[in-house]
A and B are shown apart, each in its own frame.
Chain A
Amino acid sequence: MREFLVDFEVLFNNSIFYYAIAVMISYVIFTLLSAVEMNSYMKKNSYVNYREILVSPLAPSVSILAPAYNEEATIIENIRSLLSLHYGNYEVIIINDGSKDSTFQRMFDYYKLEKVDFAVNYQIACKEIRGVYKSKLPSFSKLTVVDKLNGGKSDALNAGINVSAKDLLLCIDVDCIVQEDAILKLAKPYLEEKYQVIATGGVVRIANSCKVEDGKLVEVNMPRNLWPRFQVLEYIRAFLMGRMAWSRLNGLLIISGAMGLFDKSVVIKVGGYDHNTVGEDMELVVRMRRYMYEQDRRFKVVYIPDPLCWTEAPADLSILGRQRNRWTRGTLETLWVHRDLFFNPRYGVLGMLSYPYWFFFEWFAPIVEFVGISVFILLAIMGNINWEFSLMLISMVYCFSVLLSTVAIFFEEMSYKQYTKGADVFKLLLAAFLEPILYHPLTVIWAMQGNIHKLRGKNNWGAMTRKGFKKEVVNQTENTAT
């Protein structure tokens, strides 16, 4: 027995070691790819005069789709800032998803709405649209409000797609702070890529503690609360390093639900957003990619590293936990629905690289970690631990994750430098030391909870989404495991 345990410990140490090495190598590769992509993006776009698309009649037309559910406190401001974005040809469609508060009434009064005779073409199934409204005032002519029965975020977006009169769809969370040049930057890849672009995504940044006036970001600050600060680090890492690299490989799976620009014709062809998943943003991109492969059409999903969208991150641990729990379920659902992609050569990068990566390193990583730590504790209790060696292995993973965060901060410093104050950068670097100990274990636990909830509650999928999305629904980002 004793001998077996010793053998087991060696085996255990080795397998953890090799999995860690595999993860680390993948991160090193991604970091390098991101560096290349960032560099070429920055160099290419330093010469660009975005005003040219702004003024051009040749620029693609854009519909902004923003679902609103119980947003009475902020809806007027949010719409106002959406109406003042810098772009020529666009419309704003607010979908009131059966709010139970006075969201609709407020919009109706402030924007002087009136019902129009809109014959909705239900190209994508969605809950009944009660009415389509436009403003009587010429200064709000860009605004359309859709009033519909409650059906959840995906359903609301689908209703918006049915009403949209433009070529591209900018799907956003209504409470996000959108940078004024966001559409310009997201639309540009549609005009310059050799292959058809089906979607572009932007960076999501965290707005906690930042100064916001009239729905616009005035001053960028580091969140005072520690939990959002960890998320800043997490987002920078995920967006500047992870997604940039995937964009380079043309294997991007997620366009953040908080902001993404899609080709309407393809979205309609694939049937819009799926109601049956809580990870509708990821699922849509996977389905659009699939469709393009099945049509044998060459395409790209592009990712823009500029900070275009700012969102309030949950500062409360229980809300944050629910968010991560949901992300895990979303990932699992998408992976399950599209399980035939797994190492399927017919689907190119999607089948051979993106999907397996997501499976092994995004979904599976927290499980490996959880099991690893549990076994470690078990062995420790039984007294079969070489403490020195274990400490070294743990130190290695710790040092690597600190380095990775440091490199991410370095990327940010070299590119956008949103945190202009030196003290803020110092705080961020400090957070990199604490994150693996304080924050990361929580994300592992939340991911485990998500998996368990999913496996136990397979048959109550619908009930979870039909409640409508709440304030705390922020957006989907990679649940980066470091």
Chain B
Amino acid sequence: MSRILIAEDEVLMLKALEFKLKKDGYEVDMASDGRQAMEKVKANTYDLILTDIMMPFVGGMEILSFIKNDPLKKNTPVLLISAVGLENVVLEGFSLGADDFIYKPFNLNELSVRIKRYIKQNEFN
């Protein structure tokens, strides 16, 4: 079973994502702020990481740059959730190696299809 980490500071959003991904058959780990997420990322390996950009203590960008600079973890797909449509934020995200951006508001079912695709892709690599 594939393992996914969701990092999101809005409890309700976290819950919705948790329910959805569990229903899709993934093993779900959760972090409700950036610090927690960072600890979990350091301690475990995941098949995919879904993280909000704006979080207390540690932002999604920092988590992203940590993963992409770690030789063992850098292949883990990272999807950034963001309400920020600013060009420089998107550019920064991709330059740090983000695999995709999810803009709020988004379609849950579409997200679930995307996640499936990234996980499949990664299995072949």
Q: Do chains A and B touch in the complex (CB under 8 A)?
A: yes
Asked if A138 meets B62 with Cβ closer than 8 Å, knowing A51-B83, A218-B57, the reply is no
Cα distance A216–B58 when bound, in Å?
9
Rounded to whole Å, the gap between the CB of B4 and the closest CB of chain A is 24
Contact B35 A57 (CB under 8 A): no
Give the distance in Å from the alpha carbon of A88 to the alpha carbon of B91 in the complex: 13
Known A-B contacts A138-B92, A139-B96, A213-B35; A88 and B86 likewise in contact (beta carbons under 8 Å): yes
Contacts of A141 in B (CB 8 A): 92
Interface residues of A in 191-236 (CB under 8 A from B): 213-214, 216, 218
A101 to chain B, nearest CB (A): 27
Q: Which residues of B contact A86 (CB under 8 A)?
A: 54
Q: Is A55 at the interface (CB under 8 A from chain B)?
A: yes
User: Bound complex: CA of A214 vs CA of B62, how far in Å?
Assistant: 13
Report the Cα distance A273→B92, complex, angstroms.
35
Q: Total interface residues on B, using CB and 8 Å?
A: 18
Chain A residues closer than 8 Å to B86, beta-carbon distance = 55, 57, 88-89
Q: Once the chains bind, are B83 and A214 in contact (CB under 8 Å)?
A: no
> At the interface, yes or no: A54 with Cβ under 8 Å from chain B?
yes
If the complex has contacts A55-B84, A55-B86, are A139 and B56 also in contact, measured as CB distance less than 8 A?
A: no
* A213 B57 Cβ-Cβ under 8 A: yes
Among B65-114, those with CB < 8 Å from A are 65, 83-86, 88-89, 92, 95-96
Interface string of A47-66 (1 = CB under 8 A from B): 00001001101000000000
Q: A139-B92, A213-B57, A216-B57 are in contact. Are A55 and B62 (CB under 8 A)?
A: no
Query: B residues within 8 A CB of A57?
Result: 86
A9 within 8 A of B: no
| Nearest-CB residue, chain A, relative to B65 | A139
Question: Given the complex of chains A and B, what is the CA–CA distance between A170 and B84 in angstroms?
Answer: 22
Contacts of B61 in A (CB 8 A): 84, 139
With A139-B65, A139-B96 already in contact, the answer to whether A55 and B57 are too (CB < 8 A) is no
| 0/1 interface trace, chain A 455-472, chain B, CB 8 Å (1 if under) | 000000000000000000
Distance, CA A86 to CA B57, complexed state (A) = 11
Q: Which residues of A contact B95 (CB under 8 A)?
A: 138
Complex Cα distance A213/B62, Å? 15
A180 interface contact, C-beta 8 A: yes
Chain B residues positioned under 8 Å from A214 (CB to CB):
35, 57-58
Which residues on A sit within 8 Å (CB–CB) of B85?
Answer: 55
Nearest residue in A to B82 (C-beta to C-beta)?
Answer: A55
A contacts, CB < 8 Å to B: 51, 54-55, 57, 84, 86, 88-89, 138-139, 141, 180, 213-214, 216, 218
Q: Which of B's residues lie within 8 Å of A, judged by CB? A: 35, 54, 56-59, 61-62, 65, 83-86, 88-89, 92, 95-96
Apart from A55-B83, A214-B35, list 19 A-B contacts with CB within 8 A.
Answer: A51-B83, A54-B54, A54-B84, A55-B85, A57-B86, A84-B58, A84-B59, A84-B61, A88-B84, A88-B86, A88-B88, A89-B88, A138-B92, A139-B61, A139-B92, A213-B35, A213-B57, A214-B58, A216-B56
**A-B contact list, 11 entries, CB within 8 Å:** A51-B83, A55-B85, A55-B86, A84-B58, A86-B54, A88-B84, A88-B88, A89-B86, A139-B65, A141-B92, A213-B35
